[in-house]
Each structure stands twice: as C-alpha cells, then as structure tokens.
Structure 1
Amino acid sequence: MIYCDYAATAPMSDIALEVYQEIAKNFYGNASSLHDAGGKAKNILEQSRAIIAKIFLAKPRQIVFTSGGTESNLLAIDTLMRASDIKGKKHIISSEAEHSSIYYYLKTLAKNEEIEVTFLPIHPNGQINSKELIDAIQPNTCLVSIQHVNSETGSIQPIKTISNYLKHTKIYFHSDAVQSFGKIDISSILSYVDCITVSSHKVSGPKGVGAIYFDSKVILSPHPVMTNHEHGLRPGTVDVPAIAAFSAAAVQACNQVIENSKHLSYIREVFIKKLKEHDIPLQPLTSSDQCPSIVGCIANNIQGDYAMLSYNRYGIHISTGSACSLGYAEIPRSIFPFISNKEEGKRYIRFSFSHLTTEQDILTIIEVSIKIFNPIKEERIHNEKKINWQGTS
C-alpha cells in the first residue's frame, strides 16, 4: 500500500501511541475532579498545554484545546467576535476557498442575519488580492479569517501582507493552519495573527483533538452558555490521553519541520518531473506560494472518482478533495481559479505526501499512472484517427 492522502489524515506516530497508552492507563482521572487522580490528570493536561504553547512561542493560558480542526475554527470565530469591541451587527471578511467548517458556518450566520460576510475570490495565482481585501473593510469589520494553506491546492496565502493592512485597525486576524502545522514552518506568521487553529491528526496525533492559539491581547470571555472547560469556552470532559499524545506528535513534527519540508519539496519536484517525462495526462495545480505536501491535479479525459478508484485497485490511496466535503459531492471551491469549466473540476484528484513518502513510492505511482492513463490515451488517439478517416472518406 502507498498512502497519499495525508492532507485528510495521518497515521499515529509511535511516540503518540506510546504516550496515549501510558496516560490512558495510568492517568485516567477526570482533570476537573478534586481528588488525587483528577489532580494527576490535570497536571498532565497543563504540561501538554505548556508544550503546545512553547511551539507557538506563547504562554499556556493562550492555548485552548478542542475536539479538532472544525471545532477550533468555529470556536475561534465565535470567541473573536465576542472579544471585539465593535457594537451592533458585525462584519467578517473571509475567502471563497476556506475549509467547509468556516465557509458554511459563516454562510449560516449570514443567512440568519447575525453577521455580514464578504467572501473574497481566489485568483489564478491561488491567492486572494490584497486590494480587494482593503476595499472590503467596513467600519463594522471585526474579523478577517483567511486560511494559511489550502487543503486541495496547497496554495499558501500571504499572511504577512494581510496583517500589514490590518495592524492599525481593531480587526482581529484568524488563520486556519490545520494544513500547514507540522508541514511547513509557521513560526514566520505567529507575530502577524491574533489566532491560529490546528488539528492533531494532521501531524500524526490522535483524531478528535485540536487546539487554538490566541494572542495575549485577545480577551477570552467565557461562552454565554455556561460551560466550565478550557477557560469556560467549551463543554465536555477533556480527553487528557489524546491531548498528551497530540503534544508529543506536535513536538516531533515541528522539530523536524525544516528537514521534512525539504524532503517534501524534493518529492513534489520528482513527482511533477516524472509526470512530464512520461507524458502522463495529469496537470498539477501550481500557486505563487506552494505547500510542498499537496499536489492537486486535473486529469485529462477521466473523471476524478474513476481515477481515484483506479489507483485504489493498485493499492495507492489518493483523494478527490477535502475529506470534510466529500459527502456533498461538489467540486472544491478552491480549484475554480485553476479550471475553465465544471467538467474540468470533475477531473480533479489530489496527491498529498508526508515525510514517510519515499522516492520509490513516487516511482511506483508513476508506473501505475502509466498503466491507468495509457489505455485512455490510446483510445483517444484511435478515436481521433477514426474521426479523421471518416472525414476524408
């Protein structure tokens, strides 16, 4: 098996599994309980919080644990709106390529007339336009939420540039870094955002855990619905073993991020080079700034789901889009700037790699790609010759 769907999820690392088992077995108390077992679990929780905080060059109180990337995004937006001192109906700026957890949440809030939302378009370079962002700002704008890396195209948004336009305003800046955390170095954007959201299972931690980093200037006021966990921001018993395993996986991923990023860049380069060398009809989507772990492609004359199933028969696991959106069977919004029509969108597939992906894996994928696409190419050439022959008879 060759796994190429790391943008959807990653297998748990050995260290994460070891930590999870150790904590689940020996520190099983409820971290909110006042007895010794609860106190020991609480200590593990706070140690884990301090570990994640160190990654973000922050203090432990700036880290909030959640159930994953989706809750992190929703809770971040909700908390930042409450922290804003803008009165009356608030306005949020986001993009059309955001993860479904943000895009549809904002759509719902706007539909219910709770807020106003401006969704900025993505341009053929894979990024938003800074001038359009400036033009969208209103007196009641309280928040800009722009993802760091897109999960379908790998496009990296200009976080620093966006921040420069917001630094003299009272507008909070949130970035969904679920796809970039542990894949590329995010330290360069820490000073430019007020809030970052991440997810455990993308960095080889357990599923069902995420985290939010809030800048120290953000007031973390408790949720109006009386909740008693994580600064009063969310309900539910905290999963201490999973959080401890997440912190271990995150440290491992972030400590190796520079080395892994170089490896991913090399793997991506080899993959795209081999596609061209063998004339495989897969057109990679490229952006002005690109995360190397993701290679979205448009196939020629073959539906994306058919291509995915064809690779699957050879034991190669790829995707046709974000795992959180597949149930809707829709073309990813983020790829529209790269295609001419919806038919091309239906031919989209995604390869996503990790530090575990080897050069030999890439060569095997190329061999399988030739087997999949050569019969299609031969059939197309045959049909073209047949049409030409009929036209000259």
Structure 2
Amino acid sequence: MKQSFRGPELRIARWAFGARSVASNHPRAALLAALLAALAAPTLTACRNPDAGAQPAQDTTAAPREKPVVRFGKVVTRSLPQTLDISGTLVADETSEVATQVAGSVVRVAIDVGSRVKKGEPLVVLDASNVALQSQSANAAVAQARAKLALKPGESPKGIDPDQVPEVRAAKQSMELAKAEAERVKQLYDQGAVPQSTWDAARTQAQNAAAQYDAAVNGIRATVASLTSAQAQAGLASKAVADSTVRAPFDGAVAEKRISVGEFAGPGRVVAVVVRDNPLRLRIDVPEADIASIEVGKPVNVSVAAFPGRTFPGVVKRIGASLKESSRTLPVEAEFDNSDGKLRPGLFAQGQLTLTGESRKAILVPEQAIGSSGSSARVFVKSGDRVTEKLVKTGRKIDGLVEVVGPLSEGEEVAIDKVDELADGIEVATAQ
C-alpha cells in the first residue's frame, strides 16, 4: 500500500532514505543508518496516528434534573374594610427627665439603663445629713412654741384664745384685781378718807396691770406666729429630707442614667430619663382627602422589622384639631398595648388604619406563598406543569392569609412551599 507523507513525515523520510544511501557505499555508516531508522519509526508512527496517545473522551451528558414537588394553595377574595397605609415611629406615652430638688452628694444609684421601675421607687439617693439636722432644729422650735401655748397633741394654734393661755390668764387676773382695787380707793378718795397719793398709786398699779395683760396677749400672738413659721420651716426641712431620695414619677423603664455615686448634684440636675412604655403612641399624618374617614376607636394594625411576620393591634385615640399647612395632613395618634414589653419606643412601624365607609373586594393568598425578590414580594402561580413568577404588593394579614395587590385572579393556584427554590418558568410536580 502506498504511503503519503506530509510535513514532518516527509522530512524525516527523506533524511532516513539519505542515510540508507550513504550506508550502501560506506560500510561504517550502516550501523548509524540502522539507528536513525529505528529512531524515525516511532516518530513516523505518531505522525501517521495523531490520536494514538489521546485518552478516550468522557461522557459529559448530565443526568436530567428532578422536578421539585410543590404544594399549591388557592387565591381567594374577601370583602375587607377600606384601609389607609401608614408609617411612623412608636413613642413612649410619657417621658420624664427626673431631676433633683435639693443639693447633695450621690450616695446610691438604684437603677441602670433598662431597669423597670414602679411609681415612687427610689432612683437616686443623696446625702441628707444637713437637711436632717435642719429638720431636727425646726421640729424643736415647733415643740417649744406649742409648749408655750399649752397646746395639746394634734391641736391647731389657729383660733386660739389668748385668755386660755396660763400666762395671759394670770396677767388678766392681776389686771382685774388692780382695777377693782383702784375703784375702791377712788371711792375712798372721793369721800376724803384717803389722800391723793393713795389714789394715784392705786390708779397707776391698775394701769400697769392692764399693760402687762396686753403685753401677755401680744406675746401669745407672737408665739402663734412663731409657731406657724417654725412649722413651715419644719415642713420644708422634712420635704428636703424626702427629696434627697429621687423617686420614679410613674411606672415605666429607665431610658438613660445620667449620674453616678460620688457626684455632687445641685437642684435641677437631671439624674435619669424614665419612659412610660405602656401604652405606646404612634403619630400618623392623614392626607386631607381621607380625614372624613377617620374616627376615634378605629383599629390600627402595624408591624415592625424586629418581629417579622407579627402584627400588633392598636386603636385611634386622638385626632388633631387642625391640619398642617405645610403638608396638608391631619395629625392622628393611635395607642398600642405593650403589656408584654415586646415593643420599644423608637421602633419604625408600618401598617394599615381602618377607614369608615363601604368594604371592598380584596385578593388574598396563603402567607406561605409570599417570597421575596429584592425589595419586592412575589408569588409563583401554577401554569400547567410550570410556575410563573408574579410580583405583588402585600397588605393586611388575616387568618393565615395575606392581602396582595398584583396580577392575580380568584381561583388561581400559588406555590405554598419551596418558594425560595423556585424560579420563573421552571417545571414542577404537584404534591399529592
């Protein structure tokens, strides 16, 4: 069989043939020609069979992918009350910057951030040594004045009769005796039985006794005034002692602690911020076009990012008196029960406010059917043996269903499991 050589094969063949020709004329070259022919043989073989050293090809045909088995649920419609989409920040029902009313060094701090407190519980305690001494001094002055007035325990100095005070009563008796004696001497003087000097002495003594009585009465009145002042001082001192313990103004939680043990606090120093976090308030700005549909007592439902999938119910409590000129919106406040303490002031809430008026038809799908596609919600609708992805906007959650707005119709079937594994147009098998 005739062989055809090309390229490298031709060059090698020519070189081997030339070597054999030389060997025929030169015996010494015979051995060299044989070696060259042996070396050329595998090269020629490789050139003639380029696939001789190749490995057998791998079978790259992939096994067919199994269809995901998916359960489906029905798209339904219901009549639902009209709602308004709302959003806002939850705030505390009350916030108090609790401050000191007296000066003193801090000897104890009974709270920290997040502490739950009851109304009247101690927050911060100041050194009360000085005000306690002032209170003792004022109480001693009160006791002294009451003793001088001969007041019984619990008896008030108001409307006291000075003549009932022993000191005044004695002065009055002396005055009456001196007056009686002066009248008797006057009669004797008029009869000429006693000299002028005796009458003058009796008259002077009666005048002195009357002056002493008046002084005693005025002294009692001054003592009553002193008692009133001492009682006021004692009250202030007692209040200062009580105010040295800063107490919670209402039930709530500590949002901030602003003082530590050893610091000196002057009057008006804020030591803590306490918030009443039950109930919580939500400020809602209602557009002008919807204000006629707002009523106190209407339900409000919101959700927060901290508790995905959970709805918190509330109710409209207050409606503003006038609209904001800048935004043409009416401020409305809703309240939310927070007995379980799950919500926190400052959380951003989104939800719906129920309006007055006729109900409207709404499309709902099972909660499990809602998936996510970036920032949008999506569902997968059954279409033969495939599923079609449709983007929707979600709304209220009712009895395991979610209100949606999108290209869906009642009676269609949507995937309710493996939603995150599905893609638009893929084949699926229906779970039996």
TM-score range, shorter chain: under 0.3
Work out which of the two has the higher radius of gyration on C-alpha atoms and give 1 or 2: 2
Task: Decide which structure has greater helix share.
Answer: 1
Task: Decide which structure has greater strand share.
Answer: 2
TM-score (norm 1): 0.19
